[in-house]
Structure 1
Amino acid sequence: MKAIKLFTCTFFLLLIGFNAFAQQKYVVSGKVVDELSQPLAYATVLLLQASDSVMAEFSVTNNKGVFQLKGIQFGKYLLQTSFLGYSTTSNAIEVGSNIDYGEIQLLKVDKDLKGVDIEAEVVPITIKEDTVEYNSAAFKTQPNANVEDLLKKLPGVTVEKDGSITTQGEQVQKVLVDGKEFFGNDPKIATKNLPADAVDKIQVFDEKSDFSEFTGVDDGERTKTINLLLKEGKKSGYFGNATAGYGVPDDVYEGKLTLNRFTRSTQLSVLGMANNINDQGFSFNDYVNFMGGFRSLMESGLGTFQNGRPSAGLSSSLNSGITDALAGGLNFNYDLSKNTDLRTSYFYNKIQNTLLSTTERQYFNNANNYNTNSSTRQSTDIDNHRFNYRFKHDFSKRSDIKVKGTLLYNEGSTTLIQDQKSIDETGATQNNNSSSNVGTGDSYDGDAELTYRQKFTKKGRSIVLRGSLAIANDDLQSSLNAINNYTTYTDSILQRQFYFKDQLELGARTSYVEPLGKGRYIEINYRYQQQQSDLNKDFFDVDPSDDSQVLNENLTNKYDNTYRYNSAGVNYRLDREKYNASIGLDGQISELDGNLISTGQMVNRTYRNLLPNFRLNYQFAGRKRLRFNYETAINAPSIEQLQPIVDNSNPLQVYEGNPNLDAE
């Protein structure tokens, strides 16, 4: 018996000791050099599990060729080192303490080798100048995984709960497929719907602006971009996947289908999805302002408008509650010739969201403490259609033309029912109110842009001409029925609200660049912009006895206005190997002409401003960089902000316009 107890105690002591030992973290360090023992900066060093080659940690050498792999647990690993243009090495190591591996020598690969078969090793990460490239073969995913699942495996890449992607400290704004747009500028459509097993490499880089790419003059603007390089077998032919699932007892479901037909000149993708598990598979950006209008009409009983258009807000609720999502779309990219290409996509999505919430709040006041209990039921139904297009033709290596634009249509409805009660310290009800809001509406937006670019014989000399057109229309209606009970009296509100706005915007811009010498340029630019708006905001009080409507003139507002500006400026740009900088000054004249139909007043304002700008991008050693931007712009007051009319549409935020407001 004593022997058994002794054995048991010894076993547990050994187990505890082993666990403590296994949980210790160690550091593996070393230096990567070439055949002449010169340090190789930015070489990739990976530590792979010896059993299955899954990556445990990675590092990039500094400008002295030194690397450190931190937080390594006890175990057997493969230390893999790679550098572009050099052979890859793999060395077995066993970690049980901190390890200084010393120098790792890489040999240059002979580019002229012929008739030699080389067995390629899987290099998980390669750094090519400003691009970080991940090899998908080094990151294992489950069958039927999508690109988002693959991105979650990549070191240095973070995928948030809402599907947004962050890498190198910045949010990814664009996802390309073999260098081409995929369903416009919504990264989530590509990452949530393309299968992971179709991807060969994932490239992460800062894409330069169209201006920089064409003129060769770096303006410092960057867009964090991911480019998905497809496997050779997927670049020609059909591929896709389909998944479906159903769960009880909550009757949850999910279905997804993607089908792709790719050739060297064509990309055709069709996708569809449906679920009720709050996985939209796309971004909310298209209709955030549209649905925000209903939210603003309903807040605080009577609703608010900001700058003539309903303020955004409802999109946040779509991430809560229970959401049924239905979506489908088609993406078509076609290279008509070596010099001409077409990019188009259509996407439809439907959201049905139900949100139930209960809130209890306690307020502390020296004179009076009280509690509030509230319950909310909100249902939202949104339909969204989006069409993107882009056509580009190269007349020659020196000139091209590009047309691009977007058409967007939204329609939807929302219902918001709220009940609230305030209770004092004694438990007595001080007041209670209930309200019901119903809103419906639709909106459409469209924009088009035409750009012509021309390089001249003299290197660095170029001109860019651009024209733009945009239209927008909002048509929203809302009804409010509210009852407020106080200790001494009761009041009620029965109201209908109508909001209609038309907007037309025209723009033109030209930019001329002249080289002044090696890496020095001067840019002269001119811009004209004009925006015309018509607004009708009608509020009617309703008589519940016969449902008759009486116009509430205090809350009703109608106007039309035109805002235009002319801007001319000059920028001096300096482009060097490690840095680029620019400094400039614009002069802008802005004019606002408005007709306040409700009051018969006219508004005329002119603003003259000088707008300086400065930009610096500096590249330090070790892939560290500094970006500094200083820009100035004019924010002219809106017609509503200039109207000397009291707006009490929101009793908690009553304001009156100031005709003496200046631009800021």
Structure 2
Amino acid sequence: MRNKIFMLILSMFFTGLVSAQVNNSGTLSGKLIDSATKQPMNLATVSVFKAADTVLVTYRLSIESGEFKVSGLPLDIDLRMIVSYSGYAVTRKEFKLTKDTPLFDAGTIIMTPNHANTLEEVLVYAERPPVVVKKDTIEFNAASFKTLPSALVEDLLKKLPGVQLDADGNITVNGKKVNRIMVDGKDFFGGDPKMATRNLPANLIDKVQVSDDKDELDLNPDKAKADVGQVINLKLKKAIKQGLFGKAYAGKADANRYEAGGIVNMFRDTLQVSVLGFSNNLNKAGFGFNDIRSLGGFDRSGINSISINGNGGLNVNGISFGGTGQGIQQSAGIGFNLNNEFKKGLTLNTQYFYGRTRNDITELENRQQFLGDTILTSRSNRSEVQYAKSHRLGFGLRWKIDTTSRMEFRPTLTVTNTNSDRLTNITTNSSVDGPLNASNNLQAVKGKDLGYGHTLSYFKNFKKKGRNLNLFNNISLNTTNTDQFNNVLNTFFPTGSNTIDQLRDQERANFSTSTNINYAEPLSKDLTWRLGYAMTFFENKDALATYNKDAGSGKYDQLNTILTNHLERTSWRNNISSGLNYRYKKLSVTATVNFLWLDLNNRYVSIGQKLDQHFNYIIPGANISWKEFNLSYNANVNPPGISDIQPVADNTNPLYINKGNPDLQPALSHGFNLNFFKNVTQKQLFISAYLGGNISNNGVVRSREIAANGVQTTMPVNADGIHNFYTNFYFNKQYKVNQTFSFQVGTGYNLNYTRNFLIINSKKSYVKNIDFGPFVRGGINWNDKIEWNISYNRGVNNAYYESSNFRDLKVERQNINTDLVIRVPKKFVWEMTLDHRYNSQTAPGVQKTVALLNAGLTYLFMKDDKAQLKFSVSDLLNQNRSVFRFSAENYITDRQVNILQRYFMLTFTYNIRSFGAAGKGAGGKVGGRQSLFFF
């Protein structure tokens, strides 16, 4: 009830504030017509300035009918309207709004072409429009979007219409992802968006230009326009020839918690260097994802694997930068990144990283399986310590051969060593027969991993427009050696107990190479023919040897032949494709046909068996794009993984044994996607919808046999009729009431439907799973001094079984997230985040409610606020738990893992901002969910 009253009061206050803002403002309207064609003019810029000092009040873009409406204008002030459009003469008109006449109709305005002068020559500097649309480029005048003195490019981009930044700093413009950011037309630290957005001060920027990514179009010429990424070019006020920026931080908390680190970036002409180091025991990355990602533009220097957990933990290509994995973690790392542009179009990137982590884990898992009238409950407690050390060396070479061709080569080398010691206690009980078994499982695991990979690509555009040739080659080599010692005591009720004491030695080597050639030939202005060939070769080795411990010598030297096998697989995959693409105005239609030859050769060395499989497929494909709609269809063939065909059982958990199946067939899947996105820039409205599906035959599912003593054995089998359909919808509307006050609202849903096949104790059933998650979001911003955001998410997961042998399941979840930032008085920043999760259905002993409340106060000092002193508290209520609940097959699982709880911390941060004569140094805009504990 208290929550409802609070929300009602807050809603009344919010509504009253908005109403007060609206009632004290006026509106300008009119219509724009081309003098030559007499057609209405779309996307012309209508700017309103204060007539006395030419300070921008606000602006709007005209809609397709040529009409415009500018609301939220101040009363009793002389105003000037400036109408601008690239290639047309500028129109000016002054007016004044009062409480008696709050509306001004400018009537029909005739726009006259003016090809003799550019738009900049016609306008005085102070009257430059906030937005100009030039064919395929949108240009924003940075000076028209006010930011705080300490603001970065990221803060500037957030104010631009149609530009959105998510929690990780990823950028979209009008619903399209931004692939890279350039500075004055050149790559800035590899073109990675976050390098510029999180490091360059906003007050250095003159213009922000947005256009389609031409490199992506070269790579995928038939790609739907809705799916083509964007490129942002930052035009600087003065050319930056050299600069130095970064940060250093150190913090101390109670209970011996600490953090420290530094990151320095230097660029001088064509040379760019970044160096970092960090250490902490706070269960988080030494740097945020955005800091690591921004080091030298990793997107263009070999990243192929990035993972982020809910606590902000980061893993890049297998190198942990802290906060990854489960439990409580200590992490440390060092690294450098270098970019250099040579003459004759050569660009080199070099990077090295070393990461070290330790995870202390305590986990409780409760799983309920429903078998007719019987409930089988398995409960496990795990204590584990994990260690990992990783090295990564990467290079990237890009050569722009001439204006029509370029080549790229990116090799990487990764070395990882892991160790873990864990103790797991498991009990299984039946609702009918009572206790079935108990297990005490002690394991020690040592692993070494060596990986190499490279990509080589060549792009060629010919003189004839639309004719191009692309070649790609990829190589991946990975070897993994794992020694796992298992010491297990199993007790079965009422029969007795047994023990296992063994060494499981597994060596895996995976090699793959693929070569793709694509050629495009325009047959006419609207019709293009595509021809492609792709060859892929795989070689996989899985050498598994299990040794029992000799009671006399104490050595693991007694080979267990039943649990030993050497498996080798080679595979050739050849694909020839041909297609036609037809384009007419906003319609694009592509039809393709693929001829696939798949050869699989499996050799079971230890048992002297060989199995060869040969498959031929004719696979169609299609893509249709029209305006904001895109529809595609494709088919694919996926052979089973090598672990699925390994016949030797994995008994490292003797109560849950996994076996492979050498008789598995490749899965054939048919997929489709229908998406729609609409961004109405003039109304700051964004709508997106997506519908996708996949139907598989010979899909891989795991059959399960449950013995009377509770031991479960699984094996993969093929099954037809595996379905998966997914749809989502998102609506977001931004309201800018006046210069200082804005708010936004959003809503949507995610819906996932799956139809899978279930086999348990030879009882079969299709299971239909529906997961529905609606959400609502909202937020306000008052002059960047008060920012408040809130979101509510609810989820319902239902499983329905066609057979009466299984019981229908239901899982519910809900959570509320909110954050508040207050930047008053000057030099102080107050901030708070609250994540509240609730689940009423958790198993006994598993926490139902989790309320994670973080708060902090930052004091800014020194010149340009370069120094920050912050006092923060994590998990103020001391309730934080890592709790999950999910359903799959015929069971519901509750999982609770230990996590770092309440601590108080004092941290000092110094921001380095040095850009020569180009501009004063500046720190980032302090405060907000992503900066609360990531400095």
Deviates further, 143-152 or 628-637:
143-152
| Aligned pairs (5 A) from 1:124-273 | 124-139=130-145, 147-177=153-183, 188=194, 191-192=197-198, 199-208=205-214, 212-213=217-218, 218-220=222-224, 222-229=227-234, 231-249=236-254, 251-263=257-269, 266-273=270-277
DSSP-derived class of the 1:634 partner: strand
In structure 2, the partner of 1:629 is: 632
Would you say the 8 A contact 2:439–2:488 is kept in 1? no
In structure 2, the partner of 1:608 is: 616
| Aligned pairs (5 A) from 1:103-502 | 103=106, 111-112=116-117, 118-121=124-127, 123-139=129-145, 147-177=153-183, 188=194, 191-192=197-198, 199-208=205-214, 212-213=217-218, 218-220=222-224, 222-229=227-234, 231-249=236-254, 251-263=257-269, 266-274=270-278, 276=280, 277-278=284-285, 279-280=288-289, 281-282=291-292, 317-318=324-325, 321-322=328-329, 324=331, 326-337=333-344, 340-350=345-355, 352=357, 354=359, 356=361, 359=364, 372=379, 374=381, 376-395=383-402, 397=403, 400-415=405-420, 417=422, 431=438, 433=440, 435-451=442-458, 453=460, 455=462, 458-481=464-487, 489=496, 493-502=500-509
Would you say the 8 A contact 1:291–1:315 is kept in 2? no
The change in CA–CA distance for 1:648 and 1:223 in structure 2 (over 3 A counts) is farther
Of structures 1 and 2, the one scoring higher in RCO (CA 8 A, sep 6+) is 2
In structure 1, the partner of 2:20 is: 22
Q: Per-residue displacement from partner, 1:406-462 (whole Å, max 9, x unpaired)?
A: 31314142536455576989x999857464554432322221314263625x55444
* Sequence identity (%): 20
The change in CA–CA distance for 1:493 and 1:645 in structure 2 (over 3 A counts) is closer
Gaps of 5+ in 2: 1-12, 309-317, 669-935
Tell me by how many angstroms 1:334 deviates.
1.0
DSSP-derived class of the 1:570 partner: strand
Would you say the 8 A contact 2:319–2:353 is kept in 1? no
Count of matched residue positions in the alignment of Structure 1 and Structure 2: 616
In structure 1, the partner of 2:726 is: none
The change in CA–CA distance for 1:572 and 1:169 in structure 2 (over 3 A counts) is same
In structure 2, the partner of 1:64 is: 65
The change in CA–CA distance for 1:368 and 1:570 in structure 2 (over 3 A counts) is closer
Would you say the 8 A contact 1:451–1:467 is kept in 2? no
In structure 1, the partner of 2:573 is: 565
Partner Cα separation in structure 1 for residue 550 and residue 54 of structure 2: 75
Partner Cα separation in structure 2 for residue 587 and residue 524 of structure 1: 12
> Which residue identity is paired with 2:247?
A
Deviates further, 404-413 or 74-83:
74-83
Partner Cα separation in structure 2 for residue 553 and residue 121 of structure 1: 83
Tell me by how many angstroms 1:608 deviates.
0.8
| Aligned pairs (5 A) from 1:632-651 | 632-642=635-645
Partner Cα separation in structure 1 for residue 367 and residue 54 of structure 2: 55
Tell me by how many angstroms 1:609 deviates.
0.8
The change in CA–CA distance for 1:562 and 1:430 in structure 2 (over 3 A counts) is closer
Partner Cα separation in structure 2 for residue 542 and residue 49 of structure 1: 87
Partner Cα separation in structure 1 for residue 164 and residue 596 of structure 2: 41
Determine whether 1:654 maps to 2:661.
Answer: no
DSSP-derived class of the 2:218 partner: helix
The change in CA–CA distance for 1:275 and 1:312 in structure 2 (over 3 A counts) is closer
> Which residue identity is paired with 1:282?
I
Partner Cα separation in structure 2 for residue 154 and residue 437 of structure 1: 54
What is the TM-score of this pair, normalised by structure 2? 0.55
> Which residue identity is paired with 1:39?
P
Tell me by how many angstroms 1:610 deviates.
0.8
Gaps of 5+ in 1: 1-14, 293-310, 620-624
The change in CA–CA distance for 1:321 and 1:523 in structure 2 (over 3 A counts) is same
Would you say the 8 A contact 1:288–1:315 is kept in 2? no
Determine whether 1:509 maps to 2:516.
Answer: yes
CA RMSD of aligned residues (A): 5.2
What is the TM-score of this pair, normalised by structure 1? 0.74
Partner Cα separation in structure 2 for residue 270 and residue 655 of structure 1: 48
Deviates further, 568-577 or 647-656:
647-656
In structure 2, the partner of 1:529 is: 536
Partner Cα separation in structure 2 for residue 334 and residue 451 of structure 1: 19
> Which residue identity is paired with 2:663?
P
The change in CA–CA distance for 1:367 and 1:66 in structure 2 (over 3 A counts) is same
Would you say the 8 A contact 1:54–1:139 is kept in 2? no
In structure 1, the partner of 2:732 is: none
The change in CA–CA distance for 1:173 and 1:368 in structure 2 (over 3 A counts) is same
Would you say the 8 A contact 2:33–2:66 is kept in 1? no
Q: Per-residue displacement from partner, 1:511-530 (whole Å, max 9, x unpaired)?
A: 33333222212222223222
Tell me by how many angstroms 1:501 deviates.
3.0
Deviates further, 601-610 or 431-440:
431-440
Q: Per-residue displacement from partner, 1:126-166 (whole Å, max 9, x unpaired)?
A: 44444444555455556666555555555544444444445
The change in CA–CA distance for 1:570 and 1:47 in structure 2 (over 3 A counts) is same
Partner Cα separation in structure 2 for residue 323 and residue 267 of structure 1: 34
Deviates further, 643-652 or 386-395:
643-652
Would you say the 8 A contact 2:323–2:329 is kept in 1? no
Partner Cα separation in structure 1 for residue 586 and residue 207 of structure 2: 28
> Which residue identity is paired with 1:350?
G
In structure 2, the partner of 1:580 is: 588
Tell me by how many angstroms 1:185 deviates.
8.2
The change in CA–CA distance for 1:630 and 1:505 in structure 2 (over 3 A counts) is same
Q: Per-residue displacement from partner, 1:206-227 (whole Å, max 9, x unpaired)?
A: 42455x4389x54447442443
Q: Per-residue displacement from partner, 1:377-407 (whole Å, max 9, x unpaired)?
A: 5545342424231332435x55x35132231
> Which residue identity is paired with 2:658?
V
Tell me by how many angstroms 1:463 deviates.
4.0
In structure 2, the partner of 1:618 is: 626
The change in CA–CA distance for 1:385 and 1:227 in structure 2 (over 3 A counts) is farther
Would you say the 8 A contact 2:262–2:276 is kept in 1? yes
Partner Cα separation in structure 2 for residue 259 and residue 137 of structure 1: 26
Partner Cα separation in structure 2 for residue 487 and residue 417 of structure 1: 25
In structure 1, the partner of 2:862 is: none
Would you say the 8 A contact 1:23–1:74 is kept in 2? no
> Which residue identity is paired with 1:42?
L
> Which residue identity is paired with 1:392?
W
> Which residue identity is paired with 1:402?
M
Would you say the 8 A contact 1:421–1:429 is kept in 2? no
Partner Cα separation in structure 2 for residue 642 and residue 502 of structure 1: 16
DSSP-derived class of the 1:282 partner: helix
